[in-house]
Amino acid sequence: MPPMPPSAQRHGPTWFDKLKMGALMGGTVGGIMGFIYGTVTIFQYGAGQAGVMRTLGKYIVGSGATFSVFMGIGSIIRTDSPQMAASVWARSKYPPLVHPRRNQSQLQR
């Protein structure tokens, strides 16, 4: 059987897939953190007029939505392709600047 042509091979997730994946992970982690923080707050200060479930739900949804937005945006920002980084590195004219390590005696002067 002949190999698949390069155009027919799967390339990887799109930016929208990465956004959804980051938002889902962020929502899960944020929801768990909201549950923990809300539970501790309810134990310390009480639920108030809204009741336990509504107060805890506000903490879970608020924390989950906030962290979901930031994780979704962060996963979009991190979609740099390795080809782009390699081409930028290849176009740079100068070698990387590495400073020599200083001894403790040089730092105290």
Supply the pLDDT for residue 102.
74
* Higher pLDDT, residue 29 or 1: 29
Contact 43, 86 (CB under 8 A): no
Residue 4's H or E segment, with its range, is none
What are 74-106's pLDDT values in tens digits? 988 876 666 666 677 677 777 767 777 777 666
Query: In angstroms, rounded to a whole number, what is the distance separating the alpha carbons of residues 83 and 85?
Result: 5
In the three-class reduction of DSSP (H, G, I as helix; E, B as strand; rest coil), residue 103 is classed as coil
